[in-house]
Amino acid sequence: MLTQKFKNRLKQVIKAYLLKNNIYVSKTTPYSNLVSFLTLLKPMQTNYELIRIGSDTDGGYLIPNDLKGIDTCFSPGVSTTSDFEYNNINII
């Protein structure tokens, strides 16, 4: 029988190996939690036209054209691009 200490060490070694090879493993969110969250999302009407910000290849973001007074914005994103932050604006 494997000891808990050995299991923990084995888990650390496997995680390190996977990370070194750009393989990311994480726990998943239960389906019911996702459904609960998604039911909260609803379209919102504004008095501003929408502008698209972001690269032409990642889908970008549609945001209200209400940027007066905003000089800095950051999106954590999910990749290595920073097109959103560099303000590649296309008005729709």
Confidence of residue 90 (pLDDT cuts 50, 70, 90): very low
Could you state, in order of their start, the residue ranges of all structural domains in the chain?
Answer: 4-38
The SS3 of residue 52 is strand
Dump pLDDT digits (tens) for 35-70.
999 999 998 888 999 888 777 777 778 888 888 887
Strand 61-64's sheet: what is its strand order?
61-64, 50-53, 89-91
This model's pTM is above 0.75: no
